[in-house]
Structure 1
Amino acid sequence: MSSHFQVPLEKVPKSGMRTFLKIGDKTIVLFNIDTQFYAIDDSCPHQGASLYTGQLQGRSIQCCAHGLRFDVASGYLLNSTQLKVATYPVEVVSEQVFIVIDAGARHE
């Protein structure tokens, strides 16, 4: 069963920006890249460092701890399918932004 978390209007990032969200026991980063929204876990799958403060280039986020770069759309480590950060679908309905959390999925 999935649930839709409505992002508070004041937390919806403007184009080129990101926001940090705590949803239940999850910490999620919501990106707005060229008016397209992407949501990923804040924790790097390598050693758990925060991705929120990482350098963003296009759709690639770089982990501050060890420099690993992930595609925020797919969650995969660039040029590899061996390491992946969890991603979450984002829906926009009548200017409201929702992150879809699937309780049964591992999002890996």
Structure 2
Amino acid sequence: MSRRIAVSALQVPEVGERILLVDEDLSIALFNVDGQLYAIDDCCPHQGASLCSGRLEGQVIKCCAHGLRFDLASGYLLNSTRMRVASYPVEVIDGEMFIVIVSEECIP
């Protein structure tokens, strides 16, 4: 099962910017990289620092605590598949934007 978190037009970050969204028990960092939107869990899997406040380097976010760098598209630690931050698809349906949260029970 999945659920959608609505993102209002006022919440969409400008190009090169990001915004922190909180929904129920999730904190999601939404990034706008050259017009492409990426949504990831705000919590670094290493020690829990906020990724939203990290340094954005193109399509890569650098954790402000220990410098780990994650690819926004895949969520994986750069040049590795050993560590991953949850990433969520962003979709537009009938002009409305949503972040799609897929329940772990649905992942094969």
TM-score w.r.t. length of structure 1: 0.92
Number of residues paired by the alignment? 107
Aligned partners of 2:106, 2:40: CA distance in 1, in Å? 12
Change (3 A) 1:56 1:105: farther
> 3-state SS of the aligned residue for 2:101?
strand
Counterpart check, 1:25 vs 2:25: yes
Structure 2 unmatched runs, 5+ = none
Unpaired stretches in structure 1, ≥5 consecutive residues: none
CA RMSD of aligned residues (A): 1.6
Q: Report deviation, 1:106.
A: 8.8
Give the aligned partner of residue 34 of structure 2. 34
State the TM-score, normalizing by the size of structure 2.
0.92
Shift in CA distance, 7/63, structure 1 to aligned 2, threshold 3 Å: same
- Structure 1 residues 78, 72: closer, same or farther in 2, change over 3 A? same
Task: Tell me what 2:7 maps to.
Answer: 7
Residue identity in the other structure for 2:2: S
Runs of 4+ in 1 over 3 A off after TM superposition: 104-107
